[in-house]
Structure 1
Amino acid sequence: MSLTTITATNPRIYLEPYMKLKLLLISLISFGILGCNSEEEKRQSTFIGGEIVNPKSKFFILSKNNTILDTLYLNQNNQFGKYFEGLEEGIYRFNHPPENQILYLQPGDSILIWLNTLAFDESINFSGEGAKKSDFLLDLYLANQDESQMILSYYKYHPEEFSKKIDSIYRTKNKQINKLIQKKDYSEKFIEIARAGINYQYYHFKERYAFLTRKYFKELAQEIPEDFHDYRKNINFESENLNTYYVYTNFIDDYFRTKAIERCDPKLPPSDDCFDLNSIRNISYKIILADSLISNPEIKNSYYDRLGSQGITFSQKIETIDSVINLLEETNYDKGKLNKLKQMAEVQKSLLPGNNIGNLPLSNVKGDTIRLKEISDKPTITYHWSMASKNHFFWQQNIIDNLRKKYPEVDFVGINIDNNTHADWAEIVKAQTRKPGMEFHLTFSRIDRDLLKAYLNKTFFIDAGGEIIRGSSQLNSKSFEREILEFLNRYN
């Protein structure tokens, strides 16, 4: 009997009943280990437990609002479980490094999680009291992943035709949530978040369409009707219930991105500075926009973090780096976070073309420390990755594999920025990359690892001695291969 059921639109791997029975036994064992709770205590507490097949690390981390609440260690059977007291209702994140996903919890829930790291998101199964909420959000996530790929083929459509396509998806999802609500009496907070997950993904598609047509299909952009963005009138830019929900934050990012180029003259070419998302002009505009729309300090600071680090890492002059810092100093940005960005600003100044990073210490898969300039005597391009951004990682690896075939005279060197152990990193490299010998782990950093995520889209072109020739190129840029050829021409 097959253990999997996979649909074309939602490739979720489902468990047979006996596997769910095994989860129930895990729960009973955990209850026994932790002691007997009264019925009243059970109603107020929340149990989280489960089993991880093919674990990549020895722990399960629970967090909320980017704050770690607890770390549960796997036992000899790769199982874990614990009662939690005082957990508020809402979205939580669980990590099994390097993977992560969300779940929904409220007091009295007893959630059991089974997953296989070989297909992390697709294999996750929630069971137990309250599991249907997490199930719905996970199914929504997997559907959104599929639709995001599918929707890319819709951007050359006329606005009216595009709207019909995504309106159909939107109606289908609303029918699903309505059926779910009819089956059980869910809390108002969960219903709000579930509906928000549907609504903001719909808005996200509209923002992406508006951005791409304005940048690449200007004639279509002129056909966008006046009511296309009517939903913007009702957007809450500082929802505390949603501020860590990926659907919501993705939409806000898209909104800022689209607004930044709405000011561009449609007669300008896409390559113009106005359409460059990493230009200091656009980043400054988005910082000012966030300052005007958001009053909640925590949410506002999260956008300052991203926009500020983006502005710094893509600056190619000391003057523009300083201008980003000066702009943030004029806002009410958290001083501690601003100091971290100031550290990044100093690091970025050392990464401008003409500087030498040949002595950067890295760790190879054998655990040896090696200097960047010792890796290759060829022209070298470094790229940077993190398994915390899984989809980006796989997309990046495919591009690098193709580039290595096309440009054998260049060495492409991968640098991982994760703060995991050498053993965990080495295992991922051996399993997931084609050339482990050209993959390295950053063993030392002067800045916060989270801020280093701003470098994930950047590459550095360096010569055999470690001098930076170009430091602003991106793998997803249409001009990337032209830049490689220009780089190679220096050696001919």
Structure 2
Amino acid sequence: MKLRFLSLLIILTLLSCKNDGNNSEDNYAYLGGEIMNPNSDFVVVSKSDMVLDTIKLDNRNRFLYKVNNLKEGLYTFYHGGEIQMVLLEPKDSLLFRLNTLEFDESLVFTGIGDKKNNYLINEFLENEIQEKKIFKFCQLKPNVYENRIDSLKAFKLKKLKTFKTKYKPSALFEKIAQANIDYNYYSSKEVYPFVHHGNNKTEIIKSLPKDFYNYRKSINYNDIFFKEYHHYNSFLRYSINNLSLENHLRHSTDVEFKRSSLCYNLDRLKLIDSLINNENIKNELLYYFTASYLSKSTNSENNDVFLSAYLSKSSDETGKNEIKRFAASLYNLKDGGHFPDIKIVDYNNTEFNINSLINTPTVICFWSNTFYNHFKESHYKLNELKVKYPEVRFIVINIDDFGSDRPKTSLKENRFKFKDEYQFKSPKESIEALAIQPMTKTIVIDKHQKIVYSNTNIFSMNFEEQLLGAINR
């Protein structure tokens, strides 16, 4: 495998050298790679929400693609539900190798342009680790917390300075790398009032140093360049949460703050509408927060009010139609209603109507290879629950739409049994009908095929109490 990958690298290098002498042809880049345990037989390359091409993998699970008329910047490649960004500049010849079972962790770049992209992917992975520390640090007093995250930022800036001295990267790379550090730092500040213990958010905000959010004065909330960049989008969501909290607390009469309250969530939509001018950024934020609210709410009247507020503010007709269908699916899944007729297939390719399997209290869970850690953790948890509650049937459904080979392999490699494991007969339609968002969504049904809980979570603290309630109905 290493020899095959090396041969592809040599080809890329020769192609790059061949064009070196012709300036008119310098505005290009190559992107290629090798994918282990592929989830499909193709990759998709895009830029700024525009698909450039769909490239089929060869019989060795490799591909090579030339980007002509290159617009330097961040490009996206997509494979089997996973998305990763790369920085491409003129005459780059970038190769990667990845394993879909550990997508980000396995990703390694080689070729011209590898140093900057390996730096960025390593920063991404380090930020994921750092996020866990941040949530612990949030329990500290504001001044102490600020000192901790200042130290983390200083360490990253020193690391970036060393990289710049050694490799002399482009101004474009420096812009992206600096933004990566800044927006992660800003996000750490925006989450503090939410993660810090206690529901009296007014007192928490009052305890912050006066200059704690001074950086907001220089933030561009309509940054077209970074609008597809993960760290910028994460910051926007955290900042919208926090700015809306401050607005909400000015008029709320609630003794304790509740993130699920209709009033607070309406305040978020109002803020987005007033703060964001760029239509794409505004519509994406409106869609994200609306889908998030609806997926967690069980109050149909509040959902109607919230849906109307979203529809009045969004200009994205496609997004509005999707949200309306999502809301309709949630309404059809209301507690006390009948579970819909969904066709599922086992790994012997036998088809079932799911209701034909429900004659005892039943838990229905979902998983995808795209969320591989959730797949493993949820199956371990389900194995524990099966032992504790033998009278309950646990139906587990893989929602992926790329055949049964990859899910079967995942189950075998982790030694999970195939009993009560299924896939959807029609994944797209079934996912929409069951409003599967987020992936942790769990549905509990009684022996009469009535929905007891339409949106719970096997990892929640009160799940077993909910389960006992379903058993005793």
Q: Which amino acid aligns with 2:323?
A: L
TM-score by length of 2: 0.87
- 1:252 alignment counterpart: 236
1:289 aligns with 2:271: yes
Instruction: Give distance in 2, aligned partners of 1:245 and 1:201.
Output: 12
**Where does the alignment leave 5 or more consecutive residues of structure 1 unmatched?**
1-17
Instruction: Give distance in 1, aligned partners of 2:90 and 2:197.
Output: 47
Against the structure 1 CA distance between its residues 358 and 430, is the aligned structure 2 distance closer, same or farther, given a 3 Å change threshold?
A: farther
Instruction: Give distance in 2, aligned partners of 1:338 and 1:264.
Output: 29
Q: Which amino acid aligns with 2:212?
A: F
Q: Is the 8 A contact 1:47 1:84 kept in 2?
A: yes
1:98 deviates by 4.2
Q: Is the 8 A contact 2:70 2:89 kept in 1?
A: yes
Instruction: Give distance in 1, aligned partners of 2:94 and 2:172.
Output: 18
Instruction: Give distance in 2, aligned partners of 1:236 and 1:449.
Output: 35
Q: Is the 8 A contact 2:446 2:471 kept in 1?
A: no
Instruction: Give distance in 1, aligned partners of 2:376 and 2:47.
Output: 27
1:435 deviates by 4.1
Paired residue for 2:219, among 235, 250, 258? 235
1:203 deviates by 1.8
1:314 aligns with 2:296: yes
SS, match of residue 214 in structure 2: helix
1:170 deviates by 0.9
Worse-superposed segment, 110-119 or 161-170: 110-119
Against the structure 1 CA distance between its residues 222 and 30, is the aligned structure 2 distance closer, same or farther, given a 3 Å change threshold?
A: closer
- 2:64 alignment counterpart: 81
Number of equivalences: 468
Instruction: Give distance in 2, aligned partners of 1:164 and 1:217.
Output: 23
Mapping of residues 38-437 of structure 1, within 5 Å: 39-40=21-22, 43-213=26-196, 215=198, 223-262=207-246, 263-264=248-249, 274-277=257-260, 279-432=261-414, 434-437=416-419
Q: Is the 8 A contact 1:52 1:116 kept in 2?
A: yes
Q: Is the 8 A contact 1:417 1:452 kept in 2?
A: no
1:314 deviates by 2.9
Q: Is the 8 A contact 2:366 2:398 kept in 1?
A: yes
Q: Is the 8 A contact 1:373 1:464 kept in 2?
A: no
1:489 deviates by 3.4
1:139 deviates by 0.7
SS, match of residue 53 in structure 2: strand
Q: Is the 8 A contact 2:5 2:34 kept in 1?
A: yes
Instruction: Give distance in 2, aligned partners of 1:406 and 1:150.
Output: 33
Against the structure 1 CA distance between its residues 379 and 447, is the aligned structure 2 distance closer, same or farther, given a 3 Å change threshold?
A: closer
Against the structure 1 CA distance between its residues 68 and 176, is the aligned structure 2 distance closer, same or farther, given a 3 Å change threshold?
A: same
Instruction: Give distance in 2, aligned partners of 1:476 and 1:226.
Output: 38
Instruction: Give distance in 1, aligned partners of 2:287 and 2:313.
Output: 12
Q: Is the 8 A contact 2:92 2:113 kept in 1?
A: yes
Q: Once the two structures are aligned, what percentage of the paired residues are identical?
A: 29
Q: Which amino acid aligns with 2:75?
A: Y
Q: Which amino acid aligns with 2:139?
A: K
Q: Which amino acid aligns with 1:125?
A: V
Instruction: Give distance in 1, aligned partners of 2:101 and 2:459.
Output: 27
1:264 deviates by 4.8
SS, match of residue 227 in structure 2: coil
Q: Which amino acid aligns with 1:333?
A: S
**Where does the alignment leave 5 or more consecutive residues of structure 2 unmatched?**
none
1:344 deviates by 1.7
1:294-352 CA distance string (max 9 Å, x none): 11111111112212222333332432332222112321421232122222222221111
1:107-132 CA distance string (max 9 Å, x none): 21110112234443222221111222
Instruction: Give distance in 1, aligned partners of 2:326 and 2:416.
Output: 31
Instruction: Give distance in 2, aligned partners of 1:235 and 1:204.
Output: 12
1:196 deviates by 1.1
Q: Which amino acid aligns with 1:257?
A: N
Against the structure 1 CA distance between its residues 161 and 338, is the aligned structure 2 distance closer, same or farther, given a 3 Å change threshold?
A: same
Instruction: Give distance in 1, aligned partners of 2:182 and 2:381.
Output: 33
Computed over aligned residues only, the root mean square deviation of the Cα atoms, in angstroms, reads 3.3
Q: Which amino acid aligns with 2:222?
A: E
